[in-house]
Structure 1
Amino acid sequence: MAVQRVEAAVAVTLSGAFKALADPVRLQLMSMIASAPGGEVCVCDLTPAFEVSDSTISHHLKVLREAGLVDAERRASWVYYRPRPELMRQLSTLLSPDA
């Protein structure tokens, strides 16, 4: 159960994150990133898991970044993604009846 009402500014941020996660591919990508061993995953490991083009995966990852759900870091030719735990905690608090 939420402890207090969500303020308007926070609601805007959280609604953008929920909107980003409303796509099945993005939800799967987020799941893969959040559960990655070591806390991050290379785009080279994400792309083969889907039957869509590399550019489509790039678009979905951009949406997740813009929503504040993941951070990205370029290393040589690859980009590594890691979840942003604070926003994920806020989302989970709203969804968890025991919070």
Structure 2
Amino acid sequence: MSGQEQLPGDHHDRFQEISAMSEQVLASVCSAKGCGASARWALLWNNPKIHTPDRRKTWLACDQHKQSLSDFLGARSFLREVEPFTGENNSDEHHG
């Protein structure tokens, strides 16, 4: 991975960074650290060491970060599905 690709940072730090945004905007922003672009993709994942097989967590991605975020999750065998983000994707958490 090049040094230019942005990956999600610590959840707490990200929350602090965007705490001024409304909850609605938070729910539709790309999960890549520092990216404020609108999400177009839902990356559904779980960590089999700590999550039940049916649990899905979600990272959102814009077109620019879809591949790098998918690669990050895929390299750890966490990625389960990638689907278009509709704002109604069903998961237990959107990581913004």
Q: TM-score, normalised by structure 1?
A: 0.29
Indicate the structure with greater strand content. 2
Q: TM-score, normalised by structure 2?
A: 0.30
Rg (Cα) greater in structure: 1
